[in-house]
Structure 1
Amino acid sequence: MYWGVWSIERILILFTSVAFLAIGLQVTLFHYRQNFHQKVMWVPVILAPIIFIEGIAFSFYNAAWLRSLFVLLMCLGILSGLIGSYFHIRGVGIRVGGWALRNFLIGPPLTLPFMFTAMSVLGLIAVFWSAR
């Protein structure tokens, strides 16, 4: 079933998908810089482009299975962001000097996993808003 018009929900789904492309590129650069020293670093690197591709498809074709897959990917994005937040906060604390300001500046970025979570929540809001 095709979408009828470009509603705000559909635009938000498209925006969320494109934002995941940008976030995914940034995450890839940061994790590459750290040589992917933990396997969990691969999760957002792989998940972000999948969300981008699926979200673009869902933006143009309103199929029930695409909607369900988008919701599942958004839930995985939330989980991935929360786990990433834990690892980034922990990463700042284990640096030499612990919770010193300089470690917040040069250590793992604390806001990037939160952005992954926030964009996933925005995607869920868009999907469930359109279901009203």
Structure 2
Amino acid sequence: MWNAWSLDRVIFLFVGLAFLVIGVQVTISHYRQNFHHKAMWGPVLSAPFLCAVSVWLAFYPASWLLITFMVLMYVAVLEGFVGFYYHFHGVGLRVGGYTSRNFLVGPPVVLPLLYTAMGVLGLLAYYWR
């Protein structure tokens, strides 16, 4: 079965499953913080759509679904950059500012960049297919 799949379809599937796992982690983390900022809802609400469209596209490569996928991947990249800003800023708001301890116990600065990276990987698969 996998031998007949092109690389872009495999990446679409991988990106979808990655957004599923990342979405669970983001939901747990933001729920733990009681969604104290409205921007926290962005990745929580978009991750299921990113996952569903990516997996659906891997099995049913329709042209309208490709356009939807591309738009959603740009949204994911943007959300990741916005999240990086808020997480980095949140580390600085902690007592002691930008110390290594605050990077360890504060908001995870790398997780939004992972969200961005998955969006970029999806865009690479979209444009290089």
- The 3-state SS of whatever aligns with 1:15 is helix
Match of 1:17 in 2: 16
Match of 1:66 in 2: 65
TM-score, normalised by the number of residues in structure 2: 0.96
Could you tell me which runs of 5 or more consecutive residues in structure 1 were left unpaired when the two chains were aligned: none
Q: 1:100 deviation in Å?
A: 1.5
Q: 1:62 deviation in Å?
A: 1.0
Q: 1:21 deviation in Å?
A: 0.2
What's the RMSD between the two structures over aligned residues?
0.6
Work out the percentage of aligned pairs sharing the same amino acid: 52
Match of 1:39 in 2: 38
Q: Could you report, residue by residue, the CA deviation over 1:12-33 in whole angstroms, capped at 9, with x for unpaired residues?
A: 0100010000000011111011
Q: Could you report, residue by residue, the CA deviation over 1:92-126 in whole angstroms, capped at 9, with x for unpaired residues?
A: 00011111111101000011000000000000001
Match of 1:107 in 2: 106
Q: Could you report, residue by residue, the CA deviation over 1:47-79 in whole angstroms, capped at 9, with x for unpaired residues?
A: 111110111111111111100000000000000
Q: Which sits farther off after the overlay, 5-14 or 15-24?
A: 5-14
Give the letter for the 2:17 counterpart: V
Give the letter for the 2:14 counterpart: F
Give the letter for the 1:129 counterpart: W
2: CA distance, partners of 1:29 / 1:54: 22
1: CA distance, partners of 2:5 / 2:126: 14
Give the letter for the 1:67 counterpart: L
**What is the number of residues matched between the two proteins?**
126
